[in-house]
Amino acid sequence: MQNATINQYKVLGVIGTGAYGVVLHAADTHTHKQYAIKAILKSRQASRNADGEKYSAALQTYLEKFLGNKEQNSPLQLPQLDLDALRSLTPDDMRQVPYYKEVCLQLRVQRHANVVSIHEALDSPHVTFIVMDYYRRDLFTSIVDDQHFAADGQLIKRVFLQICSALQYCHDQGVAHCDIKPENLLLDEHDNVYLCDFGLSSTDRWLKPNVSVGSPYYMAPERLCVDANLAGEFPTASSDIWSLGIILINLACMRNPWLKAHKRDDITFQHFHRNTRVLRKLLPISDEFYGLLCKVLRINPLERISLHALMADVAQLQSFTRDGPLHCVPVIHYEEINDEAYYATPQVGSGSSGATTIFRSASIQTLFDVGYDRSENIQSTCTSDNDDGLCKEFYPPYGIPQNQRDSINV
């Protein structure tokens, strides 16, 4: 596929592969600007119901044949899809053409400064190509490999509040992301963050319990194992708030608290489910941060903190950890945002020091993180009970050490 040209985009390589898409690295031959191009196989079978690995393998095989003979020949010329028409698809339309759902929902929310934008969509008989901006760095790499947030509480707050702002806008537009995780959050050179990969997003306000949507580390408990005393359907957006709580732990502690929020399959979460105070043994968190996490990580999704309240509490938080550089963090004062603030022009070049505003941006996305092995990228939507091997670990390791699990007293 490398060196193939699609319209004015020359393919430089493959960024990553996931259960339901292949992301290409490309450059505009006129402007030399780099882009991420996501290829989505056009199948009337909703991708969510397909076997992810088989779907991905079929897509890669097709792309190699489709683009392979274009590597040394003339550019492949594909027609553009009408983005306004895609944005306006009805639920019935999306059921008829499920491969356009991701594009449709991302287009509906990309006016927010911290949601990635789609530049154009190109059509072919069997694959749709979605052209988006390219970023080299995702939040996972920044936290774990670069340890970029290890000593900067103000930067943690600013990035996290940008994520919350983007997600609040999505929810206001009736879109739940359903796969919030560090790999789906991209950073630019000024540490602005961008929400990407709407492949699992939903407009359903309510989902039935135990519908596993997302990635295990970040999936809310009602998506995995519902308490017997909780009946009925649950608000879809509330699961995103749970995921944000795990993201905030990642930022402040560089680790995950458990493998998955399943009280039978994960002994660490089982301890938390019995008594939330176990968090203070698992993590080096301050009492203030512990109190906030208890509001976010409520087992009953109807009792979780709202996004607006979460943003206000994080802005006022004065301590993340019991000691160290995150023991004392500055309070962030920000104005109540209105509709115009969502779409404000970015202040380019403003880093974390001296930041006065939370909501700024510059652009967009790379869907899958650079440097992932293929098997790890399939994890984007893994939902089985045996998929732990596909999940990347934060360092230090998540959860309670094996030799301490039977001796916890809270």
Q: Which residues contact 35 (CB under 8 A, 6 or more apart)?
A: 9, 25, 26, 27, 28, 119, 131, 132, 133, 134
Nearest CA to 130 out of 365, 329, 357 is that of: 365
313: annotated active-site residue? no
- Distance, C-alpha 402 to centroid of its chain: 29
Collapse the DSSP code of 28 into the 3-class scheme (helix H, G, I; strand E, B; otherwise coil) and give the result: strand
Helix (H) or strand (E) holding 18: strand 9-18
Catalytic residue among 133, 138, 179, 266: 179
Give the contacts of 29 (CB within 8 A, at least 6 positions apart): 5, 8, 9, 10
* 295 labeled binding residue: no
Phi-psi region at 318: left, alpha or beta (left = phi > 0; alpha = psi -120 to 50): alpha
Spatial distance between the Cα atoms of 358 and 193, rounded to a whole number of angstroms: 11
DSSP three-state, residue 5: strand
Query: How far is the C-alpha of 237 from the C-alpha of 75, rounded, in Å?
Result: 43
Q: Phi/psi of residue 13, each to 5°?
A: 165, -170
Q: Which candidate, 8, 398, 9, places its Cα nearest to that of 218? A: 398
Q: Which two tokens stand for residue 227?
A: 């308490």
Asked if 206 and 218 count as a contact pair (C-beta separation under 8 A), the reply is no
Strands, sheet with 185-187, edge to edge from the N-terminal-most edge strand: 137-138, 185-187, 193-195
Tokens of 376: 């790890």
Q: Which are the catalytic amino acids?
A: 179
**Annotated binding site for ATP, which residues?**
42
